[in-house]
Amino acid sequence: MLLKRYRKEFCRPPNPEAQHLRCVAYLNENIGNVLPYLNTVLKGHQYIKNPPSLTLKFNGKLITLYSQEIGINIVKDEDEADKILEWLKQEINDTWKKRREIKPSFEVAQKPDILNILKLLPKTNCQECGQPTCMVFAILISEGEKDPENCPQLDMQNKITLQNYLKQFINR
């Protein structure tokens, strides 16, 4: 077993109105060597070789694994954090055990182009999505933090076009 134990901490994001928590798990063991294999198995959103880190998209959350830390950007409570961390621990240990059968991936995922996204948005800057402008919303889509569904003004045809455009990127 590669990863045996971790200790988790929670903090509130800087926005005072935010309802969610951020979670960081400090790992007892170093998992840096498993990250390229996990990049293959879990279709990582972004892999960085040095220092090693792997970002995953999971149910609308961004999870970043470093050699001795795991950060989760949004959790509603400790119970949800525990479920995600235990799932990750299992994936890390299973992947490490089977690593000789897995081709590691050092691929850095390309991100969707912000202007390609923006041209499909209504560009009214109405703020109904909670963002100050359509450009900010386009950046968040490109980063994988928002989806076309989060723009109530987007018409069906452009929504489908945008969803099809985003599908070609890893783990979207």
Return the structure tokens found at 71: 């950060």
What residues have CB less than 8 Å from 149, skipping those under 6 apart? 159
The verdict on whether omega for the bond into residue 51 sits within 30 degrees of 0, i.e. cis, is yes
User: Amino acid letter at 125?
Assistant: N
Site track 72-111 with ligand SF4 (rule: CB under 6 A), x = hit: ----------------------------------------
Per CB under 6 A, the list member of 77, 108, 124, 160 interacting with ligand SF4 is 124
* Distance separating alpha carbons of residues 101 and 95, to the nearest angstrom: 9
Q: Nearer to ligand SF4 by C-beta: 14 or 152?
A: 152
Per CB under 6 A, the list member of 120, 121, 162, 170 interacting with ligand SF4 is 121
The 10 Å Cβ neighbour count of residue 94 is: 13
Stretch of residues binding ligand SF4 (CB under 6 A), selected from 10-18, 84-92, 108-116, 129-137 = 129-137
Return the structure tokens found at 64: 């970043």
Per CB under 6 A, the list member of 86, 113, 128, 155 interacting with ligand SF4 is 128
For ligand SF4 (CB under 6 A), the number of binding residues is 14
Answer for the pair 171, 45: CB distance below 8 angstroms, yes or no.
yes
**Residue ranges that bind ligand SF4, judged by CB under 6 A:** 121-122, 124-129, 131, 134, 137, 151-153
